Structure 1
Amino acid sequence: MQTAASYKVLVVDDDPDIVELLQYNLTREGYEVSVAENGKKAIDVAQSVKPDVILMDVMMPVLDGIAACRQLREMGDFRHTHIIFLTARAEEFSEVAAFEAGADDFITKPIKPRALLSRLAAYARRDSQQEEQEKVIEIDGLRIDRNSFAVYKGDEKITLPKKEFELLSFLAATPNKVFSREELLNNIWGNDVYVIARTVDVHIRKVREKIGENHIKTIKGVGYKFNTD
C-alpha cells in the first residue's frame, strides 16, 4: 500500500524559499524529497531518483515546467508519475497548456502546505486502490490491463499516460453508461483536486488519438460514454 513513507517527491522551483517550505513540510510528513531549480535539472534528478510525484513550477529559467513535463512524459519511466504544476499564473490558458503537456494537477500560488499534503495523500490512496484492482477488461476489440497500465488493440500495445489510462478504464468498466464531466473529474482526479471541466475534454481527445475515434462517444450537453453500440 502506498504511504507517505514510500512516496518519493521531486520539488522543482527556482524560488529557494518555496523549495525550502515544501521540502520542510514534505520531509516532516515522511516523504522522501529531492529538489531541482529548473526543468532541465528536474529531468536529470528524476532519471536518478525515479520520483512518484513531481511538484513543478511553470515559469523557470533554462527549461520551463511545460517543456520539462512534455519531455518527461515522452520517457517511458515517467508515463505514470504524478506531475503537479505549482504556479502563480491562474489564467485558464496556462492550465490547459499544463494538461496538454501531460500534467495531472495544477495548484496556484501561494501554496498552502496543509492543502498540498491532503492532495498528495489522496493520490497515495487512489494508487493503493488501483493496485488492488488486478483485473483485465476486454471490450470492443480492446484489452485493458490494469496491472501493467497497458492497452492492447489486437497485437498492438498502446501505452497511455496514467490519467488517460484511468479515464479509459473507468469508462470501459461500465460500457454505454454516460458520465458527466463532473463525475469523471471526481472519479479520476478526486474531489480534493481542482481542475477545470476542459481537462476531461483534453484527455478524451488524446485517448481517441491513440485507440481510435469510435470507442468513446460524446453525448452532447451531457458527457461521455464507452460505446459498444
Structure 2
Amino acid sequence: MNNDKNTKLKILIADDDKDIQLLYEEGLSSDRYEKRIVGNGNDVLKLYKSWHPDIIVLDITMPIMSGYQALGKIKELESTGDIKKRAVIIMATAMSDEDDIMDCIKLGIHGYIVKPFSYKKISNQILDYYYKNELR
C-alpha cells in the first residue's frame, strides 16, 4: 500500500456511464489523487498489471466484462502472484439489495458504494475504505 504522505494515491475507476465518470472526476479532483477512469473490466485488468493502483472502484454492471468478472480475474492474478501490489477494491452498484452487497463482500471486496452518490462525498467514502483496509 501507499504509505508516503507525499505520494499521490492511484485510483483506478471502472464505470461505463459517462455521467457517473464525471461525478468521479469532480469528486476526486484533489491533487492527492492520480486517477484513471475506464469503461469496462478488460481495461481495468490491463491497467492493474501495468499501473499498479492503490484503489480500484468497479461498477458491477458494465459491457464487455462486468465488475464481478473483473473482480474474479483480479483475485486470480493476486493468487498466482502475478500482481505484487494488491489494491483495495470497492464495488459501485445502483442495486442496494443486501444480497447483492453480501455477494460482493464474499468475493473479497473491501467496501461498496451505492449509486447515485454525491460527488462531494465520494472522496471520503473511498478514503475511508482505503485507510480501513491498508493496515491489514
TM range (shorter): 0.7 to 0.9
Residue from 105, 111, 116 that aligns with 2:122: 116
Residue identity in the other structure for 1:27: S
- Which segments of 5 or more consecutive residues in structure 1 lack a partner in the other structure? 131-165, 167-229
Which is greater in Rg? 1
Q: Residues 5 and 32 of structure 1 are in contact (CA less than 8 Å); yes or no, is this contact kept in structure 2?
A: no
Alignment match, 2:62: 60
Alignment match, 1:33: 35
Q: Residues 88 and 109 of structure 1 are in contact (CA less than 8 Å); yes or no, is this contact kept in structure 2?
A: yes
CA 1:97–1:46: 2 relative to 1, 3 Å? same
The CA RMSD over aligned residues, in Å, is 2.3
Q: Residues 110 and 133 of structure 2 are in contact (CA less than 8 Å); yes or no, is this contact kept in structure 1?
A: no
Please give the alpha-carbon distance, in whole angstroms, between the structure 2 residues aligned to 1:30 and 1:95. 29
Deviation for aligned residue 1:124: 4.9
Please give the alpha-carbon distance, in whole angstroms, between the structure 2 residues aligned to 1:67 and 1:105. 17
- Counterpart of 1:121 in 2: which secondary structure? helix
Alignment match, 1:48: 50
Q: Residues 70 and 102 of structure 1 are in contact (CA less than 8 Å); yes or no, is this contact kept in structure 2?
A: no
- Counterpart of 1:28 in 2: which secondary structure? coil
Structure 1 position 88 matched with structure 2 position 91: no
Using the size of structure 2 for normalisation, the TM-score is: 0.82
Alignment match, 2:18: 16
Please give the alpha-carbon distance, in whole angstroms, between the structure 2 residues aligned to 1:2 and 1:78. 18
Residue identity in the other structure for 1:48: S
- Counterpart of 2:112 in 1: which secondary structure? strand
Using the size of structure 1 for normalisation, the TM-score is: 0.51
CA 1:31–1:69: 2 relative to 1, 3 Å? same
Q: Residues 8 and 51 of structure 1 are in contact (CA less than 8 Å); yes or no, is this contact kept in structure 2?
A: yes
Deviation for aligned residue 1:113: 2.5
Please give the alpha-carbon distance, in whole angstroms, between the structure 2 residues aligned to 1:105 and 1:75. 20
Q: Percent identity?
A: 25
Deviation for aligned residue 1:36: 1.1
Alpha-carbon displacement from aligned partner over 1:58-104 (angstroms, at most 9, x marks no partner)? 01111110111111011122773111111101112211221222211
Please give the alpha-carbon distance, in whole angstroms, between the structure 1 residues aligned to 2:58 and 2:12. 8
Q: Which one has more relative contact order, counting CA pairs under 8 Å at least 6 apart?
A: 2
